Amino acid sequence: MFGNSLELIEAIEYLKGKENKELHNVIIAIIVEFLGITKKEADEKIKNVIQNKKAYNEFEKLVLNQNGNLKEFFEKSKIENDKKQAAILKADFDGIISNIDALKTAKVAFNLGVGRITKESQIDYFSGIEFLKKENEEIKKGDILARIYLGEYIKKDKSKNEIKNIIENSMKELAKCYKISKK
């Protein structure tokens, strides 16, 4: 996933116990490096703090200590990251995803307002890309590969025609990020 709110939701769901192998493996690698323990020990520690809710409770405290409001965030993200309003990229044929170009994908996300060039650049916290199919995954024609979300910044500051162009260009560029081998 690319995008502030999408990444935050993914992390929160993980802290609440939703399985996410990719995120789990990243966390294990970090813990192994920082604590100098084995992968098995790291895995046990992670599972323990997830199951006893300590990880999520500590996250909640961190947000509150920074005057954040998770309830408000979730309400806003339900509106902004509504799957029904997302632009959808579908597979044109059956195959296997052999590669997703990270640099090209980052450029698409950047053009949606996910990142910034300078510290003065405005970030659109609710824009982003959600990947539903991953590398080495078998796909069928019509499968949804990804969703593009346009956040409040783009919706507020652009005309309907400009928004349509942003979506069309983003979809074209995102399609170029996928290398799919036919079966």
Q: What is the mean pLDDT of residues 111-129?
A: 86
CB-based contact 155:32 (threshold 8 Å) = no
Q: What is the mean pLDDT of residues 22-45?
A: 96
In which band, very low, low, confident or very high, does the pLDDT at 123 lie, cut at 50, 70 and 90?
Answer: confident
pLDDT at 120 over 90: no
CATH 3.90.1170.30 in the chain, residues?
83-181
CB-based contact 6:128 (threshold 8 Å) = yes
- Dihedral over alpha carbons 92, 80, 126, 24 (to 10 degrees): -70
CB-based contact 114:42 (threshold 8 Å) = no
pLDDT at 115 over 90: no
Q: How many C-beta atoms lie closer than 10 Å to residue 149's C-beta? A: 26
pLDDT for 145 equals 94
Report field, pTM of the whole predicted structure over 0.85: no
- Token pair 């996250």 is found at 59
% the chain with pLDDT above 70:
99
pLDDT for 152 equals 74
pLDDT for 169 equals 87
42-76 pLDDT tens trace:
999 999 999 999 999 999 999 999 999 999 998 88
Q: What is the mean pLDDT of residues 90-112?
A: 91
CA 105, chain centre distance (Å): 12
CB-based contact 43:53 (threshold 8 Å) = no
More confident residue, 48 or 134: 48
Helix axis angle for 4-15 and 54-65, nearest 10°, is 140
CB-based contact 109:129 (threshold 8 Å) = yes
154-174 pLDDT tens trace:
777 777 788 888 888 888 999
Question: In Å, how far are 26, 54, 165, 167 from 158, measured between CA atoms?
Answer: 37, 43, 10, 12
CA dist 179 and 162 (Å) reads: 28
Task: Kindly report the CATH number that applies to the domain delimited by 83-181.
Answer: 3.90.1170.30
